[in-house]
C-alpha cells in the first residue's frame, strides 16, 4: 500500500488538476459548473426523447449548448451507488454531463504493455463504476506523463471548445505544469531516499 505522504501527494495532484478544469469552465458565465455533485436522485433519467435540434449560435461564436451538450435533462431518477461522486458536472441550458478525473501512473511493471492499453483499462474500469450515468458520464484519464486515452482526448477537446482560446491555453499549461511538478518532486524523492555509498 502507498505511504500516507504519497497518498497526500497524489490526492493533491488530482485536486489541482480538477480545480484547473473547474476554473477554466467557470470562465464562461453561462456554464453552470458543480463540484463533486451528489449522484443520488439526479433528475437525469434515460426515459425521454433526446433533443436532436441544432443548437443556436450565440454572438460570441459558441453555440448555446456547446458540442458536448446535446442530451437534455429528462424526467426520472438516477441513483448514485455506494455514495459515488463525480469530480464535477457541467450544465449548459438543459444539458448536463458528469466528469471524473484520474491520473494513472504507468510503472515499470507495465513497461512491456502499450501505455494506451493501461489507460484504456483505467477508463473501462471507471465506466463500469459509473455505468448508471451512461451516456452522460465522461472519464478524464491522463497518465502521469501527460498522455491521454483516446476518448479522454476527444472529451478534452470538446470541453476546450466550450471556453475561449485563452482559457483553453491556460488549462493546457496548468495541467502540464502540475504533472511536471509532480514528476520532478517524485524524482527528487527517489534520489533523496537512495542510500549513500
Per residue in 85-144, pLDDT (tens digit) is 889 999 988 888 999 999 988 765 555 567 888 899 999 999 999 988 888 999 999 998
pLDDT digits (tens, 9 = 90+) for 160-175: 999 999 999 999 999 9
Residue 137 pairs in a beta bridge with: 98
Q: Find the angle CA(157)-CA(35)-CA(171) to the nearest 5 degrees.
A: 35
Q: Which residue has the cell 461564436?
A: 61
Q: Coil, strand or helix: which one is 102?
A: strand
Domain total for the chain? 1
What pLDDT, on a 0 to 100 scale, did the predictor assign at position 6? 63
Provide the residue range defining the domain that includes 28: 4-193
Helical segments of the chain, H only: 4-26, 115-129, 150-161, 165-193
Global confidence as pTM: 0.72
What is the C-alpha to C-alpha distance for residues 86 and 88, in angstroms, rounded to an integer?
6
Torsion sign (Cα): 89, 21, 87, 104: positive
- 23 pLDDT band, cuts 50/70/90, is very high
Q: Which is nearest to 147 in space by CA: 114, 187, 195?
A: 114
Length of the chain counted residue by residue? 197
Q: Which is nearest to 102 in space by CA: 154, 134, 147, 68?
A: 147
Query: Residue 97 belongs to what H/E stretch?
Result: strand 95-104
Amino acid at each position: 500500500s502507498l505511504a500516507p505522504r504519497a497518498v497526500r501527494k497524489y490526492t493533491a495532484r488530482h485536486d489541482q488538476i480538477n480545480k484547473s478544469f473547474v476554473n477554466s469552465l467557470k470562465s464562461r458565465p453561462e456554464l453552470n459548473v458543480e463540484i463533486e455533485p451528489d449522484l443520488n436522485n439526479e433528475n437525469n433519467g434515460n426515459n425521454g426523447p433526446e433533443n436532436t435540434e441544432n443548437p443556436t449560435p450565440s454572438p460570441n461564436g459558441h453555440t448555446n449548448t456547446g458540442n458536448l451538450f446535446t442530451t437534455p435533462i429528462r424526467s426520472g431518477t438516477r441513483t448514485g451507488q455506494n455514495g459515488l461522486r463525480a469530480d464535477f458536472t457541467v450544465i449548459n441550458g438543459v444539458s448536463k454531463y458528469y466528469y471524473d478525473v484520474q491520473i494513472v501512473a504507468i510503472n515499470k511493471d507495465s513497461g512491456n504493455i502499450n501505455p494506451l492499453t493501461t489507460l484504456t483499462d483505467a477508463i473501462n474500469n471507471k465506466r463500469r463504476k459509473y455505468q448508471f450515468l451512461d451516456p452522460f458520464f465522461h472519464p478524464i484519464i491522463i497518465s502521469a506523463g501527460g498522455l491521454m486515452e483516446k476518448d479522454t482526448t476527444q472529451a478534452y477537446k470538446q470541453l476546450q471548445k466550450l471556453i475561449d482560446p485563452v482559457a483553453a491555453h491556460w488549462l493546457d499549461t496548468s495541467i502540464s505544469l502540475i504533472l511536471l511538478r509532480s514528476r520532478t518532486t517524485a524524482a527528487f524523492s527517489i534520489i533523496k531516499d537512495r542510500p549513500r555509498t
